[in-house]
Structure 1
Amino acid sequence: MALPRPPAAVVFDMDGLLFDTEALYREAAMTVAASRGHDLPEALFLSLVGRPWTANRAALLDHFGAGFAIDAFQADWIRQFDTIVDGRLALKPGVLRLLDTLDALRLPRAIATSSHHSDVRRNLAAHGLAGRFDAVVAHGDYARGKPAPDPFLHAAARLGVAPEHCLALEDSHNGVRSAAAAGMAVVMVPDLLAPTAEMHGLCTLVAPDLEQVCDLLLAASAAPVGRTSGTLPPPARLGGTVQS
């Protein structure tokens, strides 16, 4: 298992990839649904992972019915998540080693997420990672959310690197679809969703965790020149910003 060439930049998803939050979102959603006398099937929740709220709102109304108090449900879901995430926000294995490796390789990196900027700031601050990313693309920064390519295209533009020279790291099916549609090489690191035949077709690789991604990047950076022809050199990083 190897990357076809070393990337010039790396774009991360956030929930389920950097932070172990998807299981907490599931716990919060099912708790709130039960408190309202509803059952939220596991399959339905999993179909919501990696999608913007507009799409998820429609899916929940389709399941629960047009009379379902969707806005109140969303508000309670967010409050319940905010309650349980405090003190339980864990990094996914390999995050710190991978960020240290990107520093050593001088590779710029961004986050492309469906979550809000406030969520990104909270999560990064909780683990002292606020200065470890060159750009953050979040809800409100793009017209179309995942699985459309917009979040990843915006991230590449913020980094000043062509999408085809970026490596995208994703855990969700819709995130993989988004990154692949943007023209990026994609490594899926599964969280709640197992890779399907479609995912294997869209991804360059499927890795068990970010430790493996770290090893892949180190191996690609050490590859002979003949194996990496056509790769753009990493943009220079000065003072935490990317100079293109």
Structure 2
Amino acid sequence: MYKAVVFDFDGTIIDTEKHLYDIINKHLTKHNHEPVSLDFYTGSIGGAANDLHEYLEDKLGEALKEEIYTEHHETSKDLPIFEKIKNLMAYLKQRHIPMAIATSSYRASIEPAFKQLALDDYIDVVVGREDVAEVKPNPELYLTAVQALNYNPVNCLALEDSVNGATAAINAGLDVIVNTNKMTENQDFANVAYLNKDISTANIIANYFEA
């Protein structure tokens, strides 16, 4: 049985990836630019997204790029938590199993949604971009999170939605369950040694916490 769980945030707890993709293309279209392709966008998921940021700055400029992300962060707080994650968190809290978030986003960026969803009732530790030198797929976010939880990585389970995120968790020594969403379901996980993929909450609990 795992002693702690570390969640990714974007695309794992709430569907921020589709939300951001739609906002980006809304602004690009508004300013007479071609929308970004799904393939280009999904390649940035889970990591620093430098290519995406550079593209937006090239097309729109720094100020308009920041408008996109401000709108994204202010409106994503209204997105619902994935039911699977909500049920898993409720179970873990009942069992007194500590939880953390390891996100490539800045902590301040996820704070509106974090507060709206009352995640402080469940989450003990939040590690974000400002806490590490490198984000996913580098393992530093996960190493920092498990250190804050005071557990060995092998005793912790990670929940991720992307190749970048799952790679980071595995390289930090955690086992990973991948739960994809509509934006990551077609990513190539062939070289990712995940524990399981796209399984129900009931199966996660039965196989990894009560087996």
Tell me if both proteins adopt one fold, taking TM over 0.5 as the criterion.
yes
Which piece of structure 1 moves more, 94-103 or 25-34? 94-103
CA drift of 1:8 comes to 1.5
Give the corresponding residue for 1:194: 185
Distance of 2:119 and 2:68 partners within structure 1: 26
Contact in 1 for aligned 2:163/2:188 (Cα 8 Å): no
Q: Which runs of 5+ in 2 are unaligned?
A: none
Count of aligned pairs between the two proteins:
209
Distance of 2:74 and 2:98 partners within structure 1: 33
Normalising by structure 2, we get a TM-score of: 0.88
Contact in 2 for aligned 1:173/1:199 (Cα 8 Å): no
Distance of 1:201 and 1:95 partners within structure 2: 22
Contact in 2 for aligned 1:11/1:111 (Cα 8 Å): yes
Describe the superposition over 1:90-134 as per-residue Cα deviations: whole angstroms up to 9, x where unpaired. Answer: 111222221121123221110000112123321121122223111
Which piece of structure 1 moves more, 170-179 or 192-201? 192-201
Instruction: Give the aligned CA root-mean-square deviation in angstroms.
Output: 2.2
Name the larger-Rg structure: 1
Give the corresponding residue for 2:131: 141
Contact in 1 for aligned 2:14/2:80 (Cα 8 Å): yes
Secondary structure, counterpart of 1:45 in structure 2: helix
Contact in 1 for aligned 2:179/2:197 (Cα 8 Å): yes
Describe the superposition over 1:73-102 as per-residue Cα deviations: whole angstroms up to 9, x where unpaired. Answer: 42121133245435x411112222211211
Give the counterpart of 2:206 among 218, 228, 231. 218
Which piece of structure 1 moves more, 73-82 or 133-142? 73-82
CA drift of 1:181 comes to 1.1
Residues 214 and 195 (structure 1 numbering): CA distance in 2 closer, same or farther, change over 3 Å? Answer: farther
Contact in 2 for aligned 1:112/1:152 (Cα 8 Å): yes
Contact in 2 for aligned 1:48/1:56 (Cα 8 Å): yes
Instruction: Determine whether 1:120 maps to 2:113.
Output: no
Distance of 1:156 and 1:70 partners within structure 2: 38
Give the corresponding residue for 1:157: 147
Q: What does residue range 92-103 of structure 1 map to in structure 2 within 5 Å?
A: 92-103=82-93
Secondary structure, counterpart of 2:168 in structure 1: helix
% identity of equivalent residues: 24
Q: Which runs of 4+ in 1 moved over 4 A?
A: none
Secondary structure, counterpart of 1:48 in structure 2: coil
Distance of 2:173 and 2:51 partners within structure 1: 23
Give the counterpart of 2:165 among 144, 169, 175. 175
CA drift of 1:199 comes to 4.5
Instruction: Determine whether 1:24 maps to 2:19.
Output: yes
Secondary structure, counterpart of 1:218 in structure 2: helix
